Chain A
Amino acid sequence: ENVLTQSPGTLSLAPGARASLSCRASQSVGKNYLAWYQQKPGQAPRLLIYHASTRATGVPDRFSGSGSGTDFTLTVSRLEPEDFAVYYCSQYATSPWTFGQGTKVEIK
């Protein structure tokens, strides 16, 4: 299976700061079928980015995804209070689908 490793585990930033989250795959992700999800406590994950760089419907343009092959990045250009959450990357190119272990973005 394609193991996804996210870094850092926790990111402590102030509102207004820029956040960069990394996701590294153990094998190349075919067709860049890499997604990013946001999860807040007690809620289901929300799709933010798919195909590595396409924003899902209704996602603010401060969220952007980049990368290809085995290295991917989610960037939040300026953190808003509602952006403090846990973020997961996931590949859906091959079965089994896999998720990273998550990056928690917390208020500094």
Chain B
Amino acid sequence: QITLKESGPTLVKTTQTLTLNCTFSGFSLSTTAVGVGWIRQPPGKALEWLAFIYWDDDKQYSPSLQSRLTITKDSSKNQVVLTMTNMDPVDTGTYFCAHGSGWLLDVWGKGTTVTVSS
């Protein structure tokens, strides 16, 4: 059974850097065609894709946020880390990580809520 769990600070200040962890089980990021993606959702709004890291360390980023995002993986620890710099109140929302089967995001974590405040 594939499970993912997001963790990180619930509150960050404006201009700070956000670091989120995605800890998973039930699959290996060393397996061909497997990946992990990050998606966020502002309160009451739609989903927004942020980044994706593939088993071979290929990385994809949202063009509008690319300068602020870094995604890395530690396959031995079954973890994926997303960092987002220069946080702003508009970055407030729920952040999800999800298992990628190929590029399909098929199993999602429950999400972690982040509030950005000055």
Which residues of A approach B to under 8 Å, CB–CB? 1, 33, 35, 37, 43-47, 50, 56, 88, 90, 92-93, 95-102
Contact = CB atoms under 8 A, between A and B. Distances in A.
8 contacts: A1-B63, A33-B104, A44-B96, A44-B108, A88-B46, A93-B103, A97-B49, A101-B46
Contacts, number: 56
B108 A99 contact: no
Interface in B62-105: 62-63, 96, 102-105
Contact of B46 (A1, A44, A50, A99): A99
Contact of B107 (A35, A47, A90, A92): A47
Name B's interface SS.
Answer: strand
B49 A45 contact: no
B106 to A, nearest CB: 5
A44 B52 contact: no
B48 interface: yes
